[in-house]
Every structure is written in C-alpha cells, then in structure tokens.
Amino acid sequence: MVRVGTLSFRMLAAEYGADITYGEEIIDHKLVKCQRRINVASGTTEFVEKGTENVVFSTCDEERERVVFQMGTSDAVRALKAAEIVCNDVAAVDINMGCPKAFSIQGGMGAALLSKPELIHDILATLKRNLDVPVTCKIRLLKSPADTVELARRIEKLGVPALAVHGRKVADRPRDPAKWDEIADVVAALSIPVIANGDVLEYDDFSRIKTATGAASVMVARGAMWNASIFSPKGKSHWEDVKNKYIRKSILWNNDVKSTKYTIKEMIAHHSCLELAEGKSLNKADTLADIAKLYELEDYYWTVKNIRPLTHDLDYVL
C-alpha cells in the first residue's frame, strides 16, 4: 500500500502478529537512483535518492527475515539493477503485477504486465537467475478463470516459490466482492503456495478465505490499514489505540510526515470523519513534531530525539 506500508506500519503489523510484511510499492526508476546508507541515529538502513535527503525505502535489522521489497517495473534489466541495490537487506523481492492505478498501467507496470506474459517471463527469470533471495509476484484475476490459471501456471514454471492472487479484475473496484472461487481455481491448478488476497477485514476472515480457496496463506491490505490489530488472535484493539501506537512508531522510526498523515487519515476516514476537529488539525501538521503535539506525545517525541542517538536501545523508548 503506497504511503502506508512504510517501516513504522510494518513494525506495527508485525507486533500485532503479521508473519510477513510488504513494503509499499517502489518503482525501479526511483530505486536505481538511490544509494544505501546506515542511519545510526534511527537504527535504520536507508535507501536515499542521490544528491538529496529523500528516503525512498528504509528497513531495520528487526524485520530483516520477514520484510518483502515490493517493486513496480516494466523492464527486466532495470528491475535487476534496482533489486541488487536492496536485496541484501530484505527477505524477498516481489514484483507487483496487480496495481490498477493509471500511473502504473501507463508506465507498463502493475496490472499492465498481466497481458504481457513474455515480459513477465523475462523479468522473473532475470531476477531469479541473478538474486539469492526469493522472487515472488502478485497478480489479479484475468477476464476468465481459465486465463488466470494459464498465467499462474506459466509463472509457476519459472520457479517462483509463491504466488499472491488478488480476487478482483483490473476493472473491479474495492466495493466489488472479491471472487474467492476464482482464487480457488488457481490454488487447485498449482503446486506452489498461493497467497489469497481480497475482502479480509476481520480476523475470522483469515480462516474463511483459507477454507474457501485452499490457499496456503492470506494477504491483508485495507483491513490492516484501518486497524493493524486485525492480525491478533486475541481480537481487535480499539482503532484509536492502534492509531496512537502507529503514531509512536512513526516517531520512533522517523517516518515520512506525509506518509504518516496519509495513514492516520485513512484510519480516521474509515472509523470517524475527517471534517471533525482532529482531521482539520491533522491537515495543518507539517512535521512529526506537530503530530506529536496534536496527540499529546511531545514527551515521547523528545525522548526519542534525545535518547535514541545515544543508546540505540529500542526497548528504552518503545
């Protein structure tokens, strides 16, 4: 999820029980312009656009074994060049073949790849041949179940260890029900694990979609964005508590303020209303310090700022 799947949100989801977390989609064009650096003050590994302070992707040692780098690409050579920059710091690289947004499709990325099996072959084969980390991908449903199964089989033959399937077609909108039965068709046709995605909004939906599809595991997007405690078998925490915990992690990991505001707004819009005082005040926030003040976390903000560079001890400030 662009602007949502940053380090702070991934760490939040993992704390609630997510086994694997995906980064927001990063376009290969952007990553090839980056250089890797260690940020001692924040305890992160950052990939920064050369000549700027623009952090394109950041991660940390704590998530090294579970974070998947999600890439948008339309070219095998460029995809490999980008993946080589980040592959030693992530658990896997995933090629996004399902994004229906105009930006991705016009650039030949995301769902545009679904109609280009030869290019899919070129990208996945190139990455698998040259990388030591697992290479996976996520697709959407095609025009017919048979077409989806045919593409999935072609991808399986390339030796990917897993395939994620979103149960909607490119033209479908989130309000359209996900077609779990068509995901089941893919599961039945493949021998590799299939990750089912679509309409997982409650913890009980994990078992429901696995039963309905036979999938090996489940991917969550909107359900997690609205309340990351969806991963907890103990049941959901109140969204306000989850929101505040997310803000603390955004401060802790020095999350981009625009991404932080975007994610908080998505939570508020789903559970409350952005036209109330909180939403209006959030709109005016320009920095993480402003957000900390809004949510009465100023002491926490300054504790992180003043102590972490000296101790590098996460437990001290969590």
- Rounded to 5°, angle at Cα 292 from 289 and 298: 90
Rounded to the nearest 5°, which phi and psi values hold at 65?
-90, 0
**For residue 153, what are its two tokens?**
């089989």
Asked if residue 213 lies in contact with residue 194, where contact means CB atoms within 8 angstroms, the answer is yes
Query: 60 catalytic, yes or no?
Result: no
Instruction: Name the active-site residue from 34, 99, 137, 273.
Output: 99
Q: How far apart are CA 75 and CA 137, in angstroms?
A: 15
Radius of gyration of the chain from its Cα atoms, rounded to whole angstroms: 20
Asked if residue 90 lies in contact with residue 44, where contact means CB atoms within 8 angstroms, the answer is no
CB neighbour class for 182 (10 Å; exposed up to 12, middle 13-18, buried from 19)? buried
Asked if residue 153 lies in contact with residue 189, where contact means CB atoms within 8 angstroms, the answer is yes
SS3 45: strand
DSSP of 251-264, one letter per residue? HHTT--HHHHHHHH
Q: Which residues participate in catalysis according to the annotation?
A: 99
